[in-house]
Amino acid sequence: EYIKETIGVRSGMWAYHGINGFYNFGVWAWVMGGLAAYTLATRIVIRQMQRVQFPIPPWVNPVIMTAIFLLILLTLGNYRNGAGMLFWSFYIALFIACIYWSLKMDFSIFAGIVITSWILGTPSEYMGSAASHIWTFTHNPDFPPFFLVAGCWPLEILAQYSLSAFLANEPLNQTGG
């Protein structure tokens, strides 16, 4: 998260307004956001997705992940100039990892994580930016940019979920509860 926040701040996509512009709060807020996403996904959203009993082939997950990644590219708008090599290196690495991990997940878990990231993304970014001005987005001071919430959040949350499962030696199809 520190790397991602550093990329965003240095690229001029967003700015923090705390003491000397430090963004430690943003990093720790993301830790809390990741915990909230895990809890919401495993306790509610994935369970609801599992109630829908229709088989989805395994290749659908990476197709959806590719569409999400392309969504970032297609909706950057005014932020395109700030999306330099560090931004693209970071998100391409996440994309590749998420493609791999998505192949190892049931659709209900994959979709539950993506949907959860969308549920949490907009209000989280809005509360930190437009509502409280802890940070602001360069080209969208009144609302978080679409590419961030619709594209970046799913990549980041899926990566956090998958990396946590890997580090805990847990299967990706286990929902934690």
Question: 104-154: per-residue pLDDT in tens?
Answer: 999 999 999 999 999 999 998 998 888 888 889 999 888 999 999 999 999
Distance (Å, whole) CA 161 – CA 34: 8
Tokens 């109630």 locate to 51
Q: What is the pTM of this model?
A: 0.89
What is the DSSP annotation of 63-95? Answer: HHHHHHHHHHHHH-GGGGGG--HHHHHHHHHHH
CA-based nearest residue to 124, from 2, 36, 63, 47: 36
Give the integer Cα–Cα distance in Å for 28 and 26.
5
Q: Which residues pair with 15 in a beta bridge?
A: 136
Closest CA to 123 of 42, 50, 37, 60: 37
In this prediction, residues 19-31 reach a mean pLDDT of 70
26 band by pLDDT with thresholds 50, 70 and 90:
low
- For residue 22, the model assigns a pLDDT of 66
At 141 the pLDDT is: 86
How many whole angstroms separate alpha carbon 98 and alpha carbon 120?
19
In this prediction, residue 176 carries a pLDDT of: 55
